[in-house]
Structure formats: structure tokens, C-alpha cells
Amino acid sequence: MKINPVKGTHDIYSSTANDALDLEYTFNVMAMAYGYEPIVIPTLEHTNLFQRSVGESSDIVTKEMYTFLDKAGRSLTLRPEFTAGIMRAVVTNKLYVDNIPLRLFYNGSCFRYERPQAGRYREFHQMGVELIAPTNPGLDAEVIALGFAYLKEIGLNPILKINYLPAKDSREKYLKDLKAFFEPNLDNMCEDCKRRYEINPLRILDCKVPSDREIIEKAPSISTYLSDDDLKHYNEIKRFLGNIGISYEEDDRLVRGLDYYSGIVFEYYFDTDNSDFAGIALGGGGHYDGLLQELDGPSEYSGVGLSFGLERLISAYQNADTEYKGTGMRPIFYMAPLSEEGLDLAHTLATFLHENSVHTILNYEIKSLKSFLKSANKKQARNIIIIGEDELKKGFVTIKNLESGVQHEVAIDDFPEIVFSILKENYEDDDGEIQSLDITKGN
Ligand code: AMP
């Protein structure tokens, strides 16, 4: 019986799985360079965690959660995003004690019952960071810069959009004025907007229905509602970004799909002529107050986080003209033993290479050289190591570069040294050098 994958889920395999691994690996290395520590949290949480944090007015909570009763009748939900679960873990384990600013990063799958379409899955993967500390514009800017630097590192030209959501009184006033603006238009707007109007009119700004967008364009701009404190903080963030040469577009309609944000919000897009990526965010994030407190944690800390969607990064990466090379799936060496005795030596050498993390294939079989060459080429191996009668007699192996066709006889004693010089030749280039520091950047 053939069993199909669940609607909205997908398998990632072959070279795409390799791209996924590279993209995640680079993200993790980069997050660690900025001082972030890994955290692994459960996929399952109590449903009310998301109701209390992501928010009763968000599409995620109202329409998209995978919620079910377990055998003991508890309402559980497969995580639709990471921030809420991480805040829960921070409170549960008191991770804030003696560890502020707390910098955390994560990778894993999320579940949203959305209509599957290009770039939208029901199970997808996110990677991101959360930074918990007293509010500080430098820390807000750090998270934005980390995401920007990551996209540049993997060879995608980022477009960064930012906006600032005012806090408390100014926000209340804005919401009141938004309601007054939308009220006479409401009959002509979609059902979701009618619901958002009642629960959180800010969310209307996020509506994608074209006829609603025409109305939304005329709504009052959030930027005129920022208090002096908001403006000061926002300007500081922009100054920090400018100092390190990060360019951004301000978009006063950017509100993001989760209720908890207040302060800076941002999204990253892929700068490309390919219209498939128009309006599709690769990632985004923002600042939030009160989330820890809402979960019975300390009130003095706020947070700022970002998350990227792995599937969207993969497709942008595969469509980009990028020089980033990742870790690569091509074997560096393919072992070709032509006799039983040759197999023993191949085994010893392959073990040495494996233990030194050098991508090497040995299939524990003896074949003709012709047939080994065919298999090695099929795997796109860079070099083949031939161990025949002649080689064994003289105590060497033949290493043939399958790209240039050049081959060398290498004495067994010299093998480790030669291997490392091959690796050096192939994998170290100017990209590996540390660039000089240009402190005039952005000024
Ligand atoms: P959000 O948590 O909604 O801010 O989403 C952060 C990122 O996750 C987005 O920018 C997307 O890259 C990705 N993402 C969100 N929803 C989906 C989905 N249904 N399928 C694939 N990627 C998604």
C-alpha cells in the first residue's frame, strides 16, 4: 500500500538536504560568533502558552495551530513558532539568573495549518535567536545585524525593512484612530479584517487581500504616533545600523503576524529580479516587552529575536548567483582497491581520512579500475586513490585528481602530509582570510 506524505509536509533529500545542512551550519556558527548559546526545546507545549503569548488575535492562534487533546485530556499544541516556547523554557529553568544578556539560538520544525502554496508549508523549519536583557537599542541592532550578516554570508543580497511599533499610550491612541478610520470601510473588507477590527486593528495592516490593501494604504501612519522615548530608541537603533553600514527601508505598514511585538520590528527579503520571491519574507523578528512577565518570569527584561524559514532560504539560495560554497557533498577521495591486499590498505587509509573528517568513500569491494572510475565520477568525487599490484609492491598509492586528470604516486609514509596539502590547495583561498577593518564604513 502506497502511503503519501501528509498534506503540506515535504521530504528534503539529496543536494537540497545538503544545502539545508550548509545553511543551518553557517547560521549556527555565525550565531555562536555573536555569543549565542544553543537551546533545544520540546515540539509540544500546553496550548495556553501560545494563546497567552503569540496572542488571541493572531492568525496563528485563531486559525493555524495543530491543537489536540492527549490521552489524559490535556490540550497540547505543536509549536507554531519558537519564541513562546523559549520564553517558557527561560522561566521554567530560570535561565536569566546571572546570565543577562541571555543569548540563545535554535533550529527546528514548526507547524501551522496554512493553505499550502509556494514557500508555505504546514511543517517547516525555522532557525533563529532570542536575546533577553533590559531594553537596549544596541542589542536590538545586534539581532538585526546578525540576520543581515548571515544572509550576506550565504550570498543572498538582503533587503531589510524596519518599522517601530509604539508602546502603551501612543499605541492605544493609534489603535483608536485606526478603528475610527476603518469603521466606515469595514463592510467592504474581508471577514478576517472584520474580526481583526474587533480584537486587534493593528493586524488589519498585515492583510494581503488586494482590495483591502487599497484601503489600508490610506490608513494613518504609525510613524506619527511615536512618543519622544520611542523616537529616541528608534533613532539609536538606526544609528547603530548605520555605523556598521547596514542599509534599510522604513515601512510603516510592517506589523508582523504575532501579537507580542512592541518596539522595533523587521523583515528580510531577497533582492532579486525573480518575481517568485516578491513579497516573500526570508525571515523577520522584533522586540517584545512583557512576554517573560506574562509567563510569570521577571518583569525587568524584554527580548528581541529573529527567525528565518529554512525552506525559503533554500529556494532563495538555489536561485541566487552566490559564491558561497558551503561544506559540499562531493567526496574528496574515492578509494579504488584492485585486490584483497589492496582492500586492507584502503581500509587503513580510509579510516585515517574518516577520523580526520575528510569526506571519503570506501565500499569494501574489489572491482576493475574502469568500474571504480565510473562510480567515482558518478559521485562527483574530486580524487580517486588507486591501490593496485604495482602500488603495493612499491609501497605507494596513486592519487588521481579527477578534475584535472593529473596523478601522483605517493609513498604510504608521506600519505598524511600529501592529503593535507591537497586539502589546503582545494579548500583554502582568499575567502578564508580575515578582511581588514574599515572604520569609515557607513559614516
Ligand atoms: P514568523 O514566525 O511568522 O515571523 O515567520 C518567520 C519566518 O518563517 C518567515 O519569514 C518564513 O521564512 C518562515 N515561515 C513562516 N511560515 C511559514 C510556512 N508556513 N512555511 C514555510 N516557511 C514559513
> 120 CB less than 6 Å from ligand 1?
yes
Q: Which atom of ligand 1 is nearest to the CA of 121?
A: 20
> What's the rounded Cα separation, in Å, for the pair 223 and 120?
30
CB distance 55 to ligand 1 below 6 Å: no
Model confidence at 220: pLDDT above 90? yes
Average pLDDT over residues 197-216: 88
pLDDT-based confidence at 171, cuts 50/70/90?
Answer: confident
* pLDDT of amino acid 256: 84
> CA 379 to CA 386: how far, in whole Å?
16
Which pLDDT does position 354 carry in this prediction? 92
Report the 10 Å Cβ neighbour count for 180: 11
Mutate which of 260, 264, 277, 312 for ligand 1? The one with the most ligand atoms within 8 Å of its CB, which is 312
Separation of CA 156 and ligand 1 centre (Å)? 17
Give the atom of ligand 1 at the shortest distance from the alpha carbon of 119: 21
- Tell me what percent of the residues of the chain surpass a pLDDT of 70: 95
Is it the case that residue 441 has pLDDT exceeding 50? no
pLDDT score of 327: 59
Shortest-distance Cα residue to atom 8 of ligand 1 = 309
Q: Is the pLDDT of residue 384 over 80?
A: yes
Give yes or no for residue 431 having a pLDDT over 50.
no
Residues constituting the chain: 443
Q: How would residue 324 be classed by pLDDT, with cut points 50, 70 and 90?
A: low
Ligand 1 in contact with 271 (CB < 6 A)?
no
Q: Which three cell numbers stand for residue 382?
A: 574530486
* Placement of cell 550576506 in the chain: 152
pTM over 0.85: yes
Q: Is the CB of 282 under 6 A from ligand 1?
A: yes
**Residue 23, pLDDT above cutoff 70:** yes
Q: For ligand 1, atom 14, which residue shows the shortest CA distance?
A: 309
Give the separation between CA 262 and CA 270, rounded to whole angstroms: 25
Name which residue sits closest to atom 23 of ligand 1, judged by CA: 309
Mean pLDDT, residues 170-177 taken together: 90
| CB contact at 8 A, 332 and 426 | yes
- Candidate from 80-84, 139-143, 257-261, 398-402 with smallest mean pLDDT: 257-261
Q: Helix 137-153 and helix 228-243: axis angle, to 10°?
A: 40
What cell numbers appear for 256 in the block? Answer: 508582523
Q: pLDDT for 332-364, tens place per residue?
A: 999 999 999 999 999 999 999 999 888 899 999
Of 351, 343, 330, 367, nearest to 22 by C-alpha is 330
Q: How confident is the model at residue 427 (pLDDT cuts 50, 70, 90)?
A: low
Which contacts qualify for 370-378: CB closer than 8 Å, 24 or more apart? Answer: 372/334, 372/336, 373/336, 373/402, 375/334, 376/331, 376/334, 376/336, 376/402, 377/402
Tell how far the Cα of 284 is from the centroid of ligand 1, in angstroms.
8
Residue to mutate (ligand 1; options 60, 115, 311; most atoms within 8 A of CB) = 311
Q: How confident is the model at residue 326 (pLDDT cuts 50, 70, 90)?
A: low
Instruction: Name the average pLDDT for the chain.
Output: 91
Please tell me which residue, 325 or 213, carries the higher pLDDT value. Answer: 213
Of the candidates 34, 261, 236, 231, the one whose C-alpha atom is nearest the C-alpha of residue 138 is: 236
Which is higher by pLDDT, 323 or 344? 344
**What pLDDT is attached to residue 438?**
45
Q: With a 6 A CB cut-off, is 342 part of the ligand 1 pocket?
A: no
Predicted local confidence at residue 276, as pLDDT: 85
Is 284 near ligand 1, meaning CB less than 6 Å away?
Answer: yes
Report yes or no: 300 and 102 within 8 Å, Cβ to Cβ.
no
* Closest ligand 1 atom to 126 CA: 8
CA of 132 to the centre of ligand 1 (A): 22
Instruction: Name the band, by pLDDT with cuts 50, 70 and 90, for residue 168.
Output: confident
Confidence of residue 64 (pLDDT cuts 50, 70, 90): very high
Nearest CA to ligand 1 atom 17: 120
Give helix 14-33 / helix 137-153 axis angle, nearest 10°: 150
pLDDT at 432 over 90: no
255 has pLDDT over 50? yes
What per-residue confidence (pLDDT) applies to 195? 87
Total Cβ atoms within 10 A of residue 309:
23
Residue nearest to atom 15 of ligand 1 (CA): 309
> What is the per-residue pLDDT across 280-305, written as a single tens digit (0 to 9) for each?
899 999 999 989 999 999 999 999 99
Measure the CA–CA gap between 255 and 37, rounded to whole angstroms: 28
Give the highest mean pLDDT range of 86-90, 217-221, 322-326: 86-90
Atom of ligand 1 nearest to the CA of 81: 2
For the ranges 23-32, 123-132, 377-386, 422-431, the lowest mean pLDDT is seen at: 422-431
Furthest CA-CA distance within the chain: 92
